[in-house]
Amino acid sequence: MPEQIEIDHDLRRQLHAAHKRVAELEARLVAAEATGTSSGLPVLKRAITMVMEAFVGLDGQWLQVPERLCDVLGYSEDELLEGSMFDFTHPDDIGNDERMRRSLLAGETETCEHEKRFIRGDGDVVWIYQNCNLVRDADGKPAYFLSYLIDITERVRTAQALSQSERRYRTLIENAPMSIHEIDLDGRLTAMNAPGQQFLGTQDGGDVVGTRYVDAVAESDRARVVVMFERALAGEPANFEFHAVGDPPRVFAANFMPLRDADGRIHKVMGIARDVTQKKRAEEQRTLMVHELDHRVKNTLATVLALYEQTLSASDSLDNFRDAYTARLRALARTHEALAEESWQGIDIREVVRLTVGPYLEEDGKRLRMEGTDLLLPSRTTTPLGLVLNELATNAAKHGSLSQPGGRIEVSWKLEYERELELNWTERGGPRIESKPDANGFGLRLVHGLVGHELEGVVEMDFDPRGITCCLHVPLLTR
């Protein structure tokens, strides 16, 4: 480097023009940052850092460096002047520097500008905006390069952080388990994430973007959703639910929020919609279960009370009442326990017969014969039918076929008219029946009451001398 760079009148004029160029560049950078057009970087509303001037030889050797540049690069002045500008440039940017140098020397351009990276003395990377001009001597020959440098490291890092944040935000939007979309003032979709496309039955945005958002709303809900949209246009967020077009029908919980431009004017509406179909179904199921539980509790209490009253009226002693009432409550409990194990969805008719007759049989169960088709009894029918069978089994154990060693019971059933059960209870091998029993005996009153009132059916009793036969005709009730 020469001890002093001699600058004649022409060079001074060129330098003056270069200084003017710096001022223009500063104004351009400020305007670019304000509009977000500076090399695609986001808007950064702050002042430009200090401009540094450096003289560089035609071969890239530093000729003169400002103190500010030494501080930025983390080297002393002597360390910088001992090397070439390329020695401190990031390897990936050297090729671009070389092309710029050749272009200036070839006269292809008067000035070059770009953003590049330097490697600091501590190994860190700094970003520099560089505006390079070729200075010629009095004979018009290239003399050296005059570079104007601006430290833009903070701006670039901020822009990179914003870019990363935007990518994360975009990733969250695209992978959110809900529809996120924008709607213009005319009510047309301008953007929608992938889940939103799936909700509307399409995978590509071309079929959705540009369409009216209300086209995705069921006809019955459109007027109300339009009111919510107009509320958002007026500046007020709106929360609502709607049914979407399609089969099966789906329910969405949605929000409309106004979006404002830089001047504070509402120019779009952001919509968020979450599929709450399963949640709604679960709520409906819980409500149904609560009502059903209430109904069952009331029915159970009514049954317990009826058993109490009928057992009391038919008992001739406290011991007799206690034994009969306890047996009936246990039969009721067994049926309820079996229903609970099946989540109150119904029980196979064979299981109901085993539960009610089984306690009166030996372990091998050979005294009971069952015959009939597979049939799932609804819970509404199971409880009263179980009590009827328990009464018949109790009577058989006390007075009928199960009171004798060789006695047996046959229970058969079939389904008539699709929803009507015919069940036959037949006893054989017990004591001979000489006459029809009293209406208050054999639990007949309870049987007739359960079949007639609870099961809404008909009971026919035949007191054959060989043993009792009971025929039930009951509809399979679901409510």
pLDDT of 135 over the 70 cut: yes
pLDDT of 2 over the 60 cut: no
Instruction: Return the pLDDT at 168.
Output: 84
Lowest mean pLDDT among 58-72, 148-162, 215-229, 308-322: 308-322
Q: Which two tokens stand for residue 308?
A: 């109490």
pLDDT of 258 over the 70 cut: yes
Q: Where in the chain is the domain with CATH 3.30.565.10?
A: 308-475
Q: For the segment 457-468, what is each residue's pLDDT rounded down to a tens digit?
A: 999 999 999 999
Instruction: Return the pLDDT at 478.
Output: 62
Q: Where in the chain is the domain with CATH 3.30.450.20?
A: 9-160, 176-275
* Strands of the 125-136 sheet, one edge to the other: 62-64, 51-56, 142-151, 125-136, 111-119
CATH of domain 176-275: 3.30.450.20
Of the candidates 150, 138, 213, 218, the residue with the CA atom closest to the CA atom of residue 181: 213
Backbone φ and ψ for 416, nearest 5 degrees, come out as -115, 145
Question: For residue 245, what is the enclosing H or E element?
Answer: none
Instruction: Return the pLDDT at 479.
Output: 56
Of the candidates 55, 98, 47, the residue with the CA atom closest to the CA atom of residue 80: 55
Q: Percent of the chain, pLDDT > 90?
A: 35
Backbone φ and ψ for 229, nearest 5 degrees, come out as -65, -45
Q: For the segment 86-133, what is each residue's pLDDT rounded down to a tens digit?
A: 999 999 999 999 999 999 999 898 888 889 999 999 999 999 999 999
Q: For the segment 230-239, what is each residue's pLDDT rounded down to a tens digit?
A: 999 999 999 9
Distance of CA 399 to the CA centre of its chain: 64
Instruction: Return the pLDDT at 9.
Output: 47
pLDDT of 37 over the 70 cut: no
CA-to-CA separations, 396 to 240, 321, 383, 422, 432, in angstroms, rounded: 64, 18, 20, 20, 12
CATH of domain 308-475: 3.30.565.10
Q: Which of 122-131, 165-174, 243-252 holds the top average pLDDT?
A: 122-131
Q: Percent of the chain, pLDDT > 70?
A: 79
Going by pLDDT thresholds of 50, 70 and 90, the confidence category of residue 437 is confident
Q: For the segment 65-92, what is each residue's pLDDT rounded down to a tens digit?
A: 999 999 999 999 999 999 899 999 999 9
Q: Which two tokens stand for residue 424?
A: 């036959």
Backbone φ and ψ for 425, nearest 5 degrees, come out as -110, 120
Contact 172, 52 (CB under 8 A): no
Q: For the segment 370-426, what is each residue's pLDDT rounded down to a tens digit?
A: 999 999 888 788 888 888 888 888 888 888 898 888 899 999 999 988 789 999 999
Query: What is the C-alpha to C-alpha distance for residues 290 and 281, in angstroms, rounded to an integer?
Result: 14
Name the CATH code of domain 9-160 (choices 3.90.550.10, 1.10.10.10, 3.10.110.10, 3.30.450.20).
3.30.450.20
Question: For residue 98, what is the enclosing H or E element?
Answer: helix 91-105
Instruction: Return the pLDDT at 86.
Output: 92
Residue appearing with tokens 């317990």 = 304
Instruction: Return the pLDDT at 389.
Output: 87
Type of residue at 192: M
Query: What is the C-alpha to C-alpha distance for residues 104 and 111, in angstroms, rounded to an integer?
Result: 7
Contact 104, 59 (CB under 8 A): no
Instruction: Return the pLDDT at 48.
Output: 41
